[in-house]
A and B are shown apart, each in its own frame.
Chain A
Amino acid sequence: MTLADDHTMMQTDRRSTSLWRDALRRLGRNKAAVVSAIFLLLLIFVAVFAPIVAPYSPYETDFSQVRTLPSTEHWLGTDELGRDILSRLIYGARVSLFVGVTVQSMATFVGIILGLVAGYYAGMTDIVIMRAVDIMYAFPNFLFAVFMVSLLEPSVGSVILTLSLASWPFVARLVRGQVLSLKNQEYVMAAKVVGTPDRAIMRRHILPNAFSPIIVQFTLGIAGVIMAEAALSFLGIGIRPPNPTWGGMISKGREFFRTAPHLAIYPSIVLGLTMIAFNFLGDGLRDALDPRMKK
Chain B
Amino acid sequence: MQRYIVQRLIFIVFSLIGATFLAFAASRLAPGDPLRMMVADRNLDPAVVAAWEQRYGLDKPIPVQYLYYVKNALQGDLGTSYHYIGTPVTEILGPAMLVTLRWESVGLALAVILALILGTISAIKQNTWVDTVTMTVALAGISLPDFALATFLIVGFSLKLGWFPVAGFETPLHYVLPVITLAVGPTALLSRMVRSSMLEVIRQDYMMTARSKGLSERAIIVYHGLRNAFLPILTIVGILVGRILSGSFIVETIFNIPGIGRVGVTAVLQRDYPVILGATIILASAFLITTFVIDLLYGALDPRIRVSD
Q: Using CB atoms and an 8 Å cutoff, list the residues of chain A in contact with chain B.
A: 32, 131, 134-135, 137-143, 146-153, 223, 227, 230-231, 234-237, 247, 250, 253-254, 257-258, 261, 264-265, 268-269, 271-272, 275-276, 278-280, 283, 295
Is B265's beta carbon under 8 Å from chain A? yes
Inter-subunit contact B143/A140 (CB<8 Å):
no
Inter-subunit contact A275/B144 (CB<8 Å):
yes
Beyond A250-B147, A280-B139, A295-B199, 14 additional pairs, beta carbon < 8 A: A140-B245, A140-B283, A143-B283, A146-B264, A153-B31, A234-B250, A235-B249, A237-B269, A253-B151, A271-B148, A272-B145, A276-B144, A279-B142, A283-B139
The answer for the CA separation of A257 and B177 in the assembled complex, in Å, is 16
Across-interface contacts of B139 in A (CB, < 8 A): 276, 279-280, 283
Of B14, B145, B268, which one neighbours A230 at CB under 8 angstroms? B145
Inter-subunit contact A150/B271 (CB<8 Å):
yes
Inter-subunit contact B284/A139 (CB<8 Å):
yes
State the Cβ distance, A78 to closest chain B Cβ, in Å. Answer: 18
- With A32-B136, A151-B26, A231-B250 as known contacts, state yes or no: A140 contacts B243, CB within 8 Å: yes
Across-interface contacts of A142 in B (CB, < 8 A): 246-247, 249
3 smallest CB-CB distances across A and B, nearest first, come from A142-B246, A135-B18, A140-B242
Interface readout for B222-257 with A: 1 if CB under 8 Å, 0 if not? 000000000000000000001101110110011000
- With A137-B15, A151-B30 as known contacts, state yes or no: A268 contacts B151, CB within 8 Å: yes
The answer for the CA separation of A139 and B287 in the assembled complex, in Å, is 8
Main secondary structure of the interface of B (DSSP, over half): helix
The answer for the CA separation of A110 and B42 in the assembled complex, in Å, is 43
Segment of B70-78, B84-92, B101-109, B152-160 engaged in the interface with chain A: B152-160
Q: Using CB atoms and an 8 Å cutoff, list the residues of chain B in contact with chain A.
A: 11, 14-16, 18-19, 22-23, 26-27, 30-31, 136, 139-140, 142-149, 151-152, 154-155, 159, 166, 199, 242-243, 245-247, 249-250, 253-254, 264-265, 267-269, 271, 273, 276, 280, 283-284, 287-288
Inter-subunit contact B155/A265 (CB<8 Å):
yes
Across-interface contacts of B22 in A (CB, < 8 A): 135
Inter-subunit contact A135/B19 (CB<8 Å):
yes
Across-interface contacts of A279 in B (CB, < 8 A): 139, 142-143
- With A135-B22, A139-B287, A146-B265 as known contacts, state yes or no: A250 contacts B151, CB within 8 Å: yes
Of A151, A264, A275, which one neighbours B155 at CB under 8 angstroms? A264
The answer for the CA separation of A257 and B14 in the assembled complex, in Å, is 46
Of A149, A253, A268, which one neighbours B268 at CB under 8 angstroms? A149
Across-interface contacts of A32 in B (CB, < 8 A): 136
Inter-subunit contact B147/A268 (CB<8 Å):
yes
The answer for the CA separation of A257 and B150 in the assembled complex, in Å, is 12
Main secondary structure of the interface of A (DSSP, over half): helix
Across-interface contacts of B26 in A (CB, < 8 A): 147-148, 151
The answer for the CA separation of A142 and B243 in the assembled complex, in Å, is 8
Across-interface contacts of A268 in B (CB, < 8 A): 145, 147-148, 151-152
Inter-subunit contact B264/A258 (CB<8 Å):
no
Across-interface contacts of A269 in B (CB, < 8 A): 148
- With A135-B22, A148-B26, A151-B26 as known contacts, state yes or no: A234 contacts B155, CB within 8 Å: no
Of A131, A141, A235, A257, which one neighbours B253 at CB under 8 angstroms? A235
9 A–B contact pairs at CB < 8 A?
A: A135-B18, A138-B288, A140-B283, A143-B246, A147-B280, A149-B268, A151-B30, A257-B159, A272-B144
The answer for the CA separation of A82 and B264 in the assembled complex, in Å, is 33
The answer for the CA separation of A236 and B16 in the assembled complex, in Å, is 29
Inter-subunit contact B147/A234 (CB<8 Å):
yes
Inter-subunit contact B27/A138 (CB<8 Å):
no
Nearest opposing residue in chain B for A148, CB measure: B26
Inter-subunit contact B268/A237 (CB<8 Å):
yes
Across-interface contacts of A271 in B (CB, < 8 A): 145, 148
Inter-subunit contact B148/A272 (CB<8 Å):
yes
Across-interface contacts of B154 in A (CB, < 8 A): 257
The answer for the CA separation of A153 and B26 in the assembled complex, in Å, is 14
Inter-subunit contact B151/A264 (CB<8 Å):
yes
- With A147-B276, A272-B143, A276-B140 as known contacts, state yes or no: A236 contacts B151, CB within 8 Å: no
The answer for the CA separation of A231 and B145 in the assembled complex, in Å, is 8
The answer for the CA separation of A137 and B147 in the assembled complex, in Å, is 24
- With A151-B30, A271-B145, A272-B145 as known contacts, state yes or no: A254 contacts B151, CB within 8 Å: yes
Nearest opposing residue in chain A for B265, CB measure: A235
State the Cβ distance, B51 to closest chain A Cβ, in Å. Answer: 25
The answer for the CA separation of A148 and B26 in the assembled complex, in Å, is 8
Inter-subunit contact B30/A152 (CB<8 Å):
yes
Nearest opposing residue in chain A for B288, CB measure: A138
The answer for the CA separation of A153 and B254 in the assembled complex, in Å, is 24
Inter-subunit contact A143/B140 (CB<8 Å):
no
State the Cβ distance, A136 to closest chain B Cβ, in Å. Answer: 8
The answer for the CA separation of A133 and B249 in the assembled complex, in Å, is 24
Nearest opposing residue in chain A for B126, CB measure: A295
Nearest opposing residue in chain B for A295, CB measure: B199
The answer for the CA separation of A280 and B144 in the assembled complex, in Å, is 12
The answer for the CA separation of A253 and B152 in the assembled complex, in Å, is 12
The answer for the CA separation of A147 and B14 in the assembled complex, in Å, is 20
The answer for the CA separation of A278 and B143 in the assembled complex, in Å, is 8
The answer for the CA separation of A276 and B145 in the assembled complex, in Å, is 9
